């Protein structure tokens, strides 16, 4: 099943966790972010308990300005703007739209680090859109890895939704996301050393 099909079929819990996971993997871009700033949102993904209050708290912590307009060349601004657009209501339609946005942002951010100079890869957005629908696409290694993580997280969450193992599903999603965050941090560190 394609990434977009998985998003379309997902329930509230899966959509919220998938979106939070996408932002979680992009945290290395946000200077000054704590070690686990999204932990509060992860805890709300199961049933939406206290979602709006926890979302407001995370936004304050990460300085996500709700009126921010991301620049095309600023991946960190894209991540902050994605958090700023998170719905306060824990309802499937709004969460689906947010999960779709976060998926795109995470893939675009990873695409920036696939490009040799950190710039925009030619036709990158078209390739990402094709890959999200399940069409074969020649993606760079970081984008391909991010796409695979997104699909796997959605599959894990769908498999465990409404079961006694739903908490374990969220933990697996968090583990996969943490692994992805380490990959991006390592790439950013390596690029900084090369430039320095």
Spacing of C-alpha 96 from chain mean position: 13
Nearest to 87 by CA among 66, 104, 108: 66
Percent of the chain with pLDDT over 90: 57
- List the chain domain ranges: 3-195
Contact 182, 159 (CB under 8 A): no
Please tell me the predicted confidence (pLDDT) of residue 126: 86
Model pLDDT for residues 121-134, shown as the tens digit of each residue? 555 788 888 899 99
Say which residues have a Cβ less than 8 Å from residue 93's Cβ, sequence separation at least 6: none
80-118: burial string, b at 16+ Cβ within 10 Å, e else? bbbbbbbbeebebebbbebbbbbbbbbbbbbbbbbeeee
Q: How far apart are CA 8 and CA 10, in angstroms?
A: 6
Nearest to 109 by CA among 58, 185, 179: 185
pLDDT level of residue 110 (50, 70, 90 thresholds): very high
Nearest to 61 by CA among 87, 88, 85, 41: 41
Neighbours of 164 (CB within 10 A): 7
Contact 119, 77 (CB under 8 A): no
Q: How far apart are CA 186 and CA 183, in angstroms?
A: 5
DSSP 172: H
pTM: 0.89
Q: What is the mean pLDDT of the chain?
A: 86
Whether 67 shows a pLDDT value over 50: the answer reads: no
pLDDT level of residue 65 (50, 70, 90 thresholds): very low
Q: Is 15 helix (H, G, I), strand (E, B) or coil?
A: helix
- Over its C-alpha atoms, the chain yields an Rg (Å, rounded) of 16
């Amino acid at each position: 099943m394609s990434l977009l099909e998985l998003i379309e079929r997902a329930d509230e819990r899966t959509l919220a966790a998938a979106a939070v996971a996408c932002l979680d993997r992009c945290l290395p871009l946000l200077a000054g972010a704590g070690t686990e700033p999204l932990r509060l949102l992860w805890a709300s993904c199961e049933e939406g308990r206290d979602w709006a209050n926890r979302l407001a708290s995370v936004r304050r912590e990460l300085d996500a300005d709700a009126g921010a307009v991301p620049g095309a060349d600023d991946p960190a601004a894209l991540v902050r703007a994605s958090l700023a657009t998170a719905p306060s209501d824990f309802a499937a339609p709004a969460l689906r739209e947010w999960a779709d946005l976060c998926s795109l942002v995470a893939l675009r951010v990873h695409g920036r680090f696939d490009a040799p100079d950190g710039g925009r890869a030619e036709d990158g957005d078209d390739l990402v859109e094709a890959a999200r629908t399940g069409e074969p696409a020649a993606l760079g290694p970081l984008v391909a890895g991010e796409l695979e993580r997104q699909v796997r997280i959605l599959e894990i969450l769908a498999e465990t939704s409404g079961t006694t193992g739903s908490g374990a599903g969220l933990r697996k999603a968090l583990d996969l996301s943490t692994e992805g965050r380490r990959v991006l941090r390592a790439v950013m560190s390596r690029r900084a050393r090369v430039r320095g």
